[in-house]
Structure 1
């Protein structure tokens, strides 16, 4: 049995970059061979095909991004401060990107998930994990009196997720600090 002469996680990170820049459909096998620095046979041996490589890259991206979000929400002394930090991180990321490309996960939802049940299931499950983490944080904030109990915590979590998604979509074609600051401010106001 032949052993891999590459680090799979490194290859997946490179694949994330390629798929993120070009999109799933526009990324050719040649792009993958050149960008990953491994041969066609190594790609097929390790990942099976382009679709499976994309799936594994998206899984890695989501695991890491979702872990950061959950850590931020779980370790914050203030739920409002954590949500504000999350939103500010999104703004910083979208405004400092020299090549506006949005969010890999959201791009995948828009480009691929509508016609691909595996991708749809993968991103939908991750969306629910993030939404639940926000719900738990908001509920905690309501329990300790930081956030008003007059609003449904699930609806607030859904609203915040929607705001984050919207900002990441807008980032593909809009680079306007004031616009994003307004979205952040309005989103945070729902927690009052």
Structure 2
């Protein structure tokens, strides 16, 4: 009879996500993971094969959760401009409420790994591409409705807002000044 695992793999990935999100990949030790997951080192490697494999799963989990929240707002009801404002407000509030200054795990991965890891790079690009596509779709919808300048380049605006959202996250890690971050958000929204 097969032995059952003594832990919930989904809960373990969630716990690992929090550790990696707080410390980054390089800053996370196997002992921190063992402590956070509440399992032995052997069980950690038996279940996830490596620290890197667990990081990949944690990054995917973060992407699924956080990107879904952003896209849900962008795909919601109401004028496109208001939905984009709500998406910016979501990122702004999350950044200002982040007492640990963890920022965005996807952005952190992009900065930490750069182009040096093919798998992490793919996961980062996938998350950013999904966010940009949702922004572009919302902007185009606003253009069709007359809420957003029809002559504006929707792709360029979407890329700009993606950069702005990630910029807010990065700035908040260094200096979470509400006035500075709100001013940045307001300036971006005036471009619509």
Partner of 2:32: 31
Give 1:55 shift. Answer: 0.1
State the alpha-carbon separation in 2 of the partners of residues 12 and 183 from structure 1: 34
| TM-score of the pair, normalised by structure 2 | 0.95
Give 1:114 shift. Answer: 2.5
Partner of 2:185: 184
Partner of 2:8: 7
Q: How does 1:137-156 map to 2 (within 5 A)?
A: 137-156=138-157
Partner of 1:43: 44
* 1:71-129 alpha-carbon deviations (Å, 9 max, x no partner): 11111311111111111111111112221121111111110243111000111011111
* Mean CA deviation greater in 29-38 or 53-62: 29-38
Partner of 1:53: 54
Give RMSD over aligned pairs.
1.1
Q: How does 1:1-192 map to 2 (within 5 A)?
A: 1-191=2-192
State the alpha-carbon separation in 1 of the partners of residues 114 and 10 from structure 2: 23
- Number of matched residues? 191
Moved runs in structure 1, 4+ residues, more than 3 A?
Answer: none
State the alpha-carbon separation in 2 of the partners of residues 137 and 49 from structure 1: 39
State the alpha-carbon separation in 2 of the partners of residues 8 and 82 from structure 1: 35
Gaps of 5+ in 1: none
State the alpha-carbon separation in 1 of the partners of residues 8 and 147 from structure 2: 45
State the alpha-carbon separation in 1 of the partners of residues 164 and 38 from structure 2: 37
Give 1:145 shift. Answer: 1.0
| TM-score of the pair, normalised by structure 1 | 0.95
